[in-house]
Chains A and B, each alone.
Chain A
Amino acid sequence: MQAAANNVFRALADPTRRSIFEELTRQGEQTVHALTRYAGVSQPAVSKHLTVLKRAKLVRHRREGRETHYQAQPDALTPMVNWLDQYGAFWRERFDRLESLLERME
């Protein structure tokens, strides 16, 4: 599960990929052409970004004629949310320990 979360974090660490993903969640399905226009980078660059997003399962694609259409899969963010929940539990536990340390300190 952490591996899945890592993929998601890494995929979204890049600002261009993040904006592509965001555009897809906003606009619904988009072609590579439309995304290229939106992102303002070359089409090969957009395709590379989409491959990374696909690997993280953040987008899904389908071919129609010569066009490839991409769609956001926002549920793929779940491992990331779960992972942050775990970190939340980690910090809560540390804060409990900090609290008892403070009791013992001068």
Chain B
Amino acid sequence: MNQPKECPRSLVIERIFPHPQEKLWRALTDSALLAQWMMSNDFEPAVGKKFQFRAEPAPNWNGIVDCEVVLVDPIEHLSYNWGTGGPSSGLQWVVDFTLTPTMGGTHVRMEQSGFGPDQLAAYNGANYGWHKMLGGLERVLDAGITATA
């Protein structure tokens, strides 16, 4: 391939759910409800709270996601760190949910960014021309994944 390939920075998934924003917020932040669509967990909507998602172990994955709540802004914005493979792997993600009321429902945007928040800040800065290479995949995934209910 002669053209530089775009390096993905984040994964964005958006969907409009025909339900009120408050209900979405509950589904995202009530541990018992969260378990019904994500994974079993000990989540609490408190900044700094460390919690885990637990699923069936899979090849290359022990089934555990180590998380820490980063932001709770009812009923609009929720983010947590998302670490797989234990502290040694150094693989840290940030999962970020934004809820926006729309006609007849709620628009949910999930962004999973790589490289951890420090690095994100670094390459969002003007020091690196990296952002010029980015965004392509995000657009592709947006187009492919966005679906309205």
Point out the residues of chain A lying under 8 angstroms from B17, CB to CB.
98-99, 102
A94-B17 Cα distance, complex, nearest whole Å: 13
Point out the residues of chain B lying under 8 angstroms from A99, CB to CB.
15, 17, 149
Name the CB-closest residue of A to B108: A95
Query: Is B13 a contact of A10 with CB atoms below 8 Å?
Result: no
In the complex, what's the smallest C-beta–C-beta distance from B80 to chain A, in angstroms? 14
Please report whether the interface of chain A is mostly helix, strand, loop or mixed according to DSSP.
helix
- Among B30-79, those with CB < 8 Å from A are 33, 36-38, 60-61
In the complex, what's the smallest C-beta–C-beta distance from B40 to chain A, in angstroms? 13
Which of A22, A91, A97, A105 has a CB less than 8 Å from the CB of B133? A22
Interface residues of chain B, those whose CB is within 8 Å of chain A, are 1, 4-5, 7-8, 11, 13, 15, 17, 19, 23-24, 26-27, 33, 36-38, 60-61, 85, 89-91, 108, 110, 112, 114-116, 119, 122-123, 127-130, 133, 137, 141, 144-145, 149
Query: Please, what's the 1-or-0 string for A8-38, where 1 marks a CB less than 8 Å from any CB in chain B?
Result: 0110111100110010011000000000000
Which of A25, A77, A80, A102 has a CB less than 8 Å from the CB of B19? A102
Given contacts A2-B60, A102-B27, contact A15 B123 (CB under 8 A): yes
Query: Is A88 a contact of B37 with CB atoms below 8 Å?
Result: no
Point out the residues of chain B lying under 8 angstroms from A6, CB to CB.
85, 89, 91
Number of interface residues of A (CB under 8 A): 34
Q: A9-B114, A19-B128, A81-B8 are in contact. List 17 more A-B contacts (CB 8 A).
A: A2-B60, A3-B60, A13-B90, A18-B123, A22-B130, A26-B4, A26-B129, A77-B5, A88-B145, A91-B13, A91-B112, A95-B15, A95-B108, A97-B36, A99-B15, A99-B17, A101-B27
A-B complex: 8 closest residue pairs judged by Cβ atoms: A25-B4, A74-B5, A97-B37, A98-B37, A15-B122, A91-B13, A2-B60, A102-B19
